[in-house]
């Protein structure tokens, strides 16, 4: 997949916050942020936007269990981000306006080109699906996948996923923690259990969500 | 050095490299011209091979990182844009769940658990054996005590079964004596009454004689009266004597009766109620023996556990003292006094942690959150705390990491630490109650065997 940006920019008229349906994640977008449409050149269709401007994400990845709260609140700010799909619920005409084409777009083209390798790993995602929103940060350190009841985040060396009220999975470099529907915790801390975590991973989360990363194996082996 | 300067230096280096490449290609072409035909063909073949290899590896991405970690995926041909913003720092994760849990499903753990089970079974068998020994010993001691006590009773009463039967006969005789004495008393009473009546009659006759002025009659009646008075006195003395005899017999009878009933009870309930070990464990030998056995079993179990975990004392202490506990571990093992002084941090932090628990409202909050996460409104209604007071208590609990709050929905959740603190408080409370109950029970049971 070859990604390109089209010089038909949009600009946010004011800063705003958007809380996702799952009520785990809140996105805050700043005033005067620029949004450029991102296209798949091979198929010649738009798949999302490139957002240039400080973007904040707050995610509640806490789960109540029989042994107390597990997980944490993740709070981060990104300078640029790729947003999928095209029809983002938080982008309406009230919040953005069209502006004249930019004089220079080389910088943005370069940024998008750098995502190429990452996006290739998730070819099968249907970006036109409204339910799921993917946010890829500029420096590729984290990838967010958010839908109606789940939040999924891949950091540099860890994977954290929350589904509904009582399910959480957390795979870090040297540990694995999972909370099931009943609030029961499975927790391990050696590499042996990481191998086991791969098996448990698919059981805990539903298949479409678990299949986001074709290179899941690579993620685990690289840990 | 600023980034611009760094970039300028790199550019200069690139220019130098370009010049070097030019010089190299010139020297190469010169060398090529000087070669023979055969040598030229050889060089050509080598170059073709190189070109093929380059074509093959054209699409390959560098496996070894030549830049910073976050730039791994970047194409190596493209230099970094100077205006690129610095990557944000990775989030600092405070929560390390692996410190609190074991891998319960791992083979290693299962093997350890099997070993532990075997050892615990062994220890239980040993414990059972010792318990049997204890019970046998106790039974013996109890029987001994029973014999001693029965002897004591027989000695104190001074009567055997035969003697008891004899005593019964005595009682019956005493009863008969009492009846006879009673009868005597009644007779004496009747006699006294008769004498009284006779004296009254004599007195009436004497009065009549006085009125009639019959002197002979008067003298005769006076004599009769004197005799009658003597009779009355004698009868009264007899009556009092009989009465005292009756009372004595009665006393004897009741005494005999009491003794008989006591012995009867003692013979009826041969099993004597024993309350507390002091009643029969006079020398304290059994309690000593029991404590020794219990201590040895406890030590056995401890060593078994330590060997089963494979980490000895250190392993167990690690589990107990999670977190910044290096000072605690290091000092306690070497010298007790030094350890006490060196644990200032522990005293300070532990007192803060406990003071956060020292309020009924805060305990109530923890208890409510133990069941499920709560919104502020719900929690405020349940605890009947409002505004500033509510915030004051929740802030204290949050500061000590007993509770946490969601960033988006704002619900309060109890943390693992909070849950453990609540359990600790409940445990102390229940323990105190139990001890009090035990103390009350001990005070209540105080029966005098005699």
The shortest C-alpha distance from A92 to chain B (Å) reads 22
Each residue's pLDDT tens digit, B116-131: 888 888 888 888 888 8
Residue B374 pLDDT > 60, yes or no? yes
- B-contacting residues of A 135-164, CB under 8 Å? 138-141, 155-156
Q: Is A120 on the interface with B (CB under 8 A)?
A: no
**What does the block give as tokens for A127?**
């970006």
Parent domain of A26: 3-222
Distance CA(B244)–CA(B260), nearest Å, equals: 24
The mean pLDDT value for B235-263 works out to: 78
CA B421 to centroid of chain Cα atoms: 16
Higher pLDDT residue, A132 or A129? Answer: A132
Which one-letter DSSP state was computed for residue A46?
E
- For chain B, what are the domain ranges? 3-59, 159-272, 358-450
Q: Smallest Cα–Cα separation from B115: which of B310, B365, B258?
A: B310
Higher pLDDT residue, A6 or B170? Answer: A6
Higher pLDDT residue, A27 or A177? Answer: A27
Cross-chain Cβ contact B78/A23 below 8 Å: no
Looking at residue B332, its pLDDT comes to 46
Architecture label for domain B358-450: Orthogonal Bundle (1.10)
| B216 φ, ψ (degrees, to nearest 5) | -60, -45
Q: Which of B79, B80, B103, B109 to probe the A interface (max A CBs under 10 A)?
A: B103
Contacts of B78 (CB under 8 A, 6+ apart): A110, A113
Each residue's pLDDT tens digit, A56-83: 999 999 999 988 999 889 998 888 888 8
Helices and strands (DSSP H and E) totals, chain A: 4, 15
Each residue's pLDDT tens digit, B386-439: 889 999 999 999 999 999 999 998 999 999 999 999 999 998 999 888 888 877
Q: Where are the alpha helices (DSSP H) in B269-359?
A: 285-309, 312-320, 326-334, 336-342, 344-357
Q: Is B100 on the interface with A (CB under 8 A)?
A: yes
Distance CA(B42)–CA(B65), nearest Å, equals: 36
Q: DSSP per residue over B167-208, as a string?
A: HHHHHHHHHHHHHHHHHHHHHHHHHHHHHHHHHHHHHHHHHH
Distance CA(B345)–CA(B350), nearest Å, equals: 8
Each residue's pLDDT tens digit, B22-72: 888 888 888 878 877 888 888 888 888 888 877 776 655 544 434 344 433
Mean of all residue pLDDT scores within chain B: 72
**What does the block give as tokens for B400?**
């000590």
Domain count, chain A: 1
Per-residue confidence band for B271, with pLDDT thresholds at 50, 70 and 90: very low
* Most confident option among A164-168, A192-196, B273-277: A164-168
Chain B residue at shortest CA distance from A18? B408
Burial track B411-449 (b if 16+ CB lie within 10 A, e otherwise): bbbbbbbbbebbeebeeeeeeeeeeeeeeeeeeeeeeee
Instruction: Tell me the percentage of chain B whose pLDDT exceeds 90.
Output: 12
Distance CA(B36)–CA(B125), nearest Å, equals: 96
Q: Is B319 on the interface with A (CB under 8 A)?
A: no
Query: Lowest-pLDDT range, A77-86, A120-129, A142-151, B242-251?
Result: A120-129
Q: Between B87, B108, B407, which is nearest A73 by CB?
A: B407
Each residue's pLDDT tens digit, B347-356: 888 888 899 9
Cβ burial, residue A144 (10 Å; 0-12/13-18/19+):
buried
Q: Is B401 on the interface with A (CB under 8 A)?
A: no
Partners of B322 on chain A (C-beta within 8 Å) are: none
Higher pLDDT residue, A16 or B331? Answer: A16
| A173 φ, ψ (degrees, to nearest 5) | -55, -45
């Amino acid at each position: 997949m070859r990604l390109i940006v089209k010089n038909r920019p949009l600009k946010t008229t004011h800063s705003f916050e958007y809380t996702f349906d799952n009520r785990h994640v809140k996105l805050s977008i700043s005033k005067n942020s620029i949004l450029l449409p991102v296209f798949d050149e091979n198929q010649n269709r738009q798949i999302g936007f490139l957002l240039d401007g400080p973007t904040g994400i707050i995610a509640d990845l806490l789960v109540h269990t029989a042994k107390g709260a597990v997980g944490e609140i993740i709070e981060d700010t990104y300078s640029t981000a790729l947003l999928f799909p095209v029809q983002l619920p938080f982008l309406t005409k009230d919040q953005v306006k069209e502006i004249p084409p930019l004089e220079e777009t080389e910088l943005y083209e370069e940024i998008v080109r750098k995502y190429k390798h990452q996006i290739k790993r998730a070819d099968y995602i249907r970006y036109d699906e409204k339910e799921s929103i993917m946010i890829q940060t500029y420096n590729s350190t984290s990838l967010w996948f958010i839908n109606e009841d789940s939040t999924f985040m891949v950091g540099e060396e860890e994977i954290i996923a929350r589904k509904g009220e009582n399910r959480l999975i957390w795979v870090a470099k040297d540990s694995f923690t999972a909370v099931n529907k009943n609030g029961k915790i499975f927790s391990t801390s050696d590499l042996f259990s990481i191998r086991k975590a791969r098996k448990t991973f698919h059981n805990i989360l539903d298949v479409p969500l678990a299949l986001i990363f074709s290179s899941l194996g690579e993620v685990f082996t690289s840990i | 050095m600023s980034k611009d300067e760094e970039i300028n230096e790199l550019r200069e280096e690139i220019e130098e490299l370009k010049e070097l490449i030019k010089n190299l290609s010139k020297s190469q072409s010169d060398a090529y011209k000087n070669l023979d035909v055969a040598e030229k063909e050889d060089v050509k073949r080598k170059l073709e091979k190189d070109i093929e290899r380059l074509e093959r590896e054209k699409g390959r991405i560098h496996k070894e990182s030549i830049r910073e970690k976050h730039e791994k995926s970047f194409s190596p041909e493209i230099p970094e844009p100077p205006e690129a913003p610095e990557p944000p720092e990775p989030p600092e994760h405070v929560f390390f769940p692996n410190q609190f849990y074991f891998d319960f499903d791992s083979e290693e753990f299962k093997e350890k658990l099997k070993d532990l089970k075997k050892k615990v079974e062994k220890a239980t068998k040993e414990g059972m054996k010792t318990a049997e020994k204890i019970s046998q010993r106790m039974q013996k001691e109890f029987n001994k005590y029973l014999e001693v006590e029965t002897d004591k009773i027989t000695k104190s009463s001074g009567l055997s079964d035969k003697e008891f039967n004899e005593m019964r006969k005595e009682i019956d005789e005493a009863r008969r004596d009492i009846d006879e004495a009673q009868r005597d008393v009644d007779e004496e009473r009747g006699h006294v009454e008769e004498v009284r009546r006779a004296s009254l009659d004599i007195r009436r006759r004497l009065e009549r004689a006085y009125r009639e002025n019959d002197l002979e009659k008067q003298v005769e009646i006076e004599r009769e009266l004197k005799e009658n008075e003597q009779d009355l006195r004698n009868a009264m003395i007899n009556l009092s004597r009989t009465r005292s005899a009756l009372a004595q017999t009665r006393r004897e009878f009741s005494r005999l009766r009491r003794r008989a009933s006591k012995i009867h009870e003692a013979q009826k309930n041969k099993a004597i109620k024993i309350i507390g070990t002091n009643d029969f464990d006079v020398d304290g030998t059994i309690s000593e023996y029991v404590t020794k056995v219990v201590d040895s079993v406890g030590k056995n179990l401890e060593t078994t556990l330590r060997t089963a975990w494979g980490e000895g004392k250190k392993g167990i202490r690690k589990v107990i003292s999670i977190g910044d506990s290096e000072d605690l571990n290091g000092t306690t093992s070497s010298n007790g006094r030094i350890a006490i002084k060196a644990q200032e941090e522990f005293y300070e932090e532990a007192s803060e942690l406990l003071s956060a628990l020292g309020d009924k409202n805060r305990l109530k909050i923890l208890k409510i959150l133990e069941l499920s996460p709560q919104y502020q409104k719900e929690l405020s209604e349940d605890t009947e705390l409002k505004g500033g007071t509510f915030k004051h208590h929740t802030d204290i609990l949050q500061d000590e990491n007993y509770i946490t709050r969601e960033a988006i929905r704002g619900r309060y959740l109890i943390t693992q630490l909070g849950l453990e603190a609540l359990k600790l408080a409940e445990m102390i409370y229940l323990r105190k109650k139990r001890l009090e109950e035990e103390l009350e029970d001990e005070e209540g049971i105080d029966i005098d065997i005699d």
